[in-house]
Amino acid sequence: MVDAIIVASSVQEVKESLSAVSSLGDVEVLFYGKNTDNAAEVAKLGVKVYVLKSQHPGALFNAVKKLYDEKKPKVIVGYGTKNNRDALSRLAGTYDLPMATDVIGVEFKDDHIIYKRGFLSERAIATEKIPYPAIILVNAKVFEPVQREGSGNIEEITIEEDSVKLLEIKPKQLSGINLEDAEIIVGVGRGFKKKEDLELAFKLAELLGGQVGASRPIAADYKWLPEDAWIGISGKRVAPKLYIAVGISGAPQHMAGVNNSKIIVAINKDKSAPIFKLADYGVVADLYQFLPVLIKKLEEKKGK
C-alpha cells in the first residue's frame, strides 16, 4: 500500500517532498523531465522510482494518472512547478480531488489534512482542511530536505503523450545565476531609471560577493535583466542572509519572495514606501546618490 506519490523533476524536490510527507508510510516517486539521469540518486533515498524521460505536460499527466489509478495513494505531493501544476490540476479535475498549492506547512491527520498557505497575495496565511485523497504542492525551501541512505528500485515507464503536440523548445535568455543559493542579494526595482544604471547594483553586489535579483518590472516587463533574476510570488523565492532592496517599493508580490531573508535593508528615496516597514534597516536616500557613497565606503574597508 503506497501512502504517497512524489512527483518531481529534481533530486532537491524529492528530498523536500519526502520531508513534507515524513509522517506517512510508504512513498514512491515519479521522476520526470530532463534530470532523469539522476534517478539513481533518488533511489538512494530508499524509495521506489518511476522514471519518465519526458517533459511533455500531457505525458506527465498520463503518467501521474496511471500511477494514481494503480496505486491509489492517499497523497500526491511535489513542488508547485508549472509542469506539476499543469498535470496535477488535470488529475484533480478528473477525480474531483482537493488540491492545495503553495503549501508552507502540513499535518496529515487520520482522516483529514490541515495545511497552511499564503493568501491574498501573501498578505495573510490561510489554514484549510481537506479530506484524503489529496494533492499537496509545497513551496520550495520550506521543508528541510531529508538526508538518508537506502536503496530503491528504478523502473522506467513509457507513456503516450496526449493530443497536444510539442513543436519546439526555445531557450529563454537566462543569466544562469542561482539566486536560491546566494548568501547576499542586491534587489533592484523601479527606482532605477534606465538599464545602464543597474551597473551600480552590480558593483555593490560584486563588492559584497553577492548576486543581483530584480522585482517584476525590471525582469519581466522591461526585461533589463533575464527572467531568472526575477524575485517574487511568480518569480523566485530566495532566502539569503542579507537582502538589500534598492529602489524597490515593497509590493507584497515581491516581498513574498524575500520574506525568508535573515536581514533586509531598504534603500529608497520615498520615505513613505511600504518597504521600510518590511525591512530591518532603512536608508531614505536617492539611490543614485547613496549607492556610490556606500560602494566607496565598502571599497575603503576592503582596501584596509
Q: Which of residues 45-104 bind other proteins (CB under 8 A)?
A: 55, 57-58, 80-83, 85-94, 96-102
- Give the residue with the Cβ less far from other proteins, 152 or 257: 257
- Give the residue with the Cβ less far from other proteins, 152 or 189: 189
Q: Which of residues 11-30 bind other proteins (CB under 8 A)?
A: none
Q: What minimum distance in Å lies between the beta carbon of 255 and other proteins?
A: 8
Q: Which of residues 258-287 bind other proteins (CB under 8 A)?
A: 259, 262-265, 271, 276-285
Residues 114, 140, 146, 154: which binds other proteins (CB under 8 A)? 114
Name the residue among 100, 90, 84, 110 with its Cα closest to residue 134: 100
CA distance 202 to 294: 13
CA distance 249 to 243: 14
Indicate whether 7 belongs to the interface with other proteins (CB under 8 A): no
Q: What minimum distance in Å lies between the beta carbon of 150 and other proteins?
A: 29
Q: What minimum distance in Å lies between the beta carbon of 180 and other proteins?
A: 12
CA distance 85 to 83: 5
Indicate whether 109 belongs to the interface with other proteins (CB under 8 A): no
3-state secondary structure of 130: strand
Residues 37, 70, 111, 170: which binds other proteins (CB under 8 A)? 170
Indicate whether 187 belongs to the interface with other proteins (CB under 8 A): no
- Alpha-carbon distances, residue 74 vs 45, 80, 89 (angstroms): 21, 18, 16
Residues 228, 232, 246, 273: which binds other proteins (CB under 8 A)? 228
CA distance 123 to 255: 10
The three cell numbers of residue 222 are 522591461
Q: What minimum distance in Å lies between the beta carbon of 174 and other proteins?
A: 6
Q: What minimum distance in Å lies between the beta carbon of 231 and other proteins?
A: 14
3-state secondary structure of 6: strand
Q: Which of residues 119-158 bind other proteins (CB under 8 A)?
A: 119-131
- Give the residue with the Cβ less far from other proteins, 44 or 116: 116
Cβ atoms of residues 123 and 160 within 8 Å: no
Cβ atoms of residues 222 and 195 within 8 Å: yes
- Give the residue with the Cβ less far from other proteins, 45 or 83: 83
Q: What minimum distance in Å lies between the beta carbon of 157 and other proteins?
A: 21
Indicate whether 162 belongs to the interface with other proteins (CB under 8 A): yes
Q: Which of residues 233-262 bind other proteins (CB under 8 A)?
A: 233-234, 241-242, 252, 255, 259, 262
Region label for 133, one of left (φ > 0), alpha (ψ between -120 and 50) or beta (otherwise) = beta
- Give the residue with the Cβ less far from other proteins, 47 or 229: 229
Q: What minimum distance in Å lies between the beta carbon of 149 and other proteins?
A: 30
Place of cell 539522476: 38
User: Nearest-5° angle of CA 162, CA 163, CA 167?
Assistant: 100
Outline where 26-115 has alpha helix (H): 39-43, 57-71, 82-95
Indicate whether 164 belongs to the interface with other proteins (CB under 8 A): yes
3-state secondary structure of 16: helix
The three cell numbers of residue 128 are 484549510
- Give the residue with the Cβ less far from other proteins, 43 or 203: 203
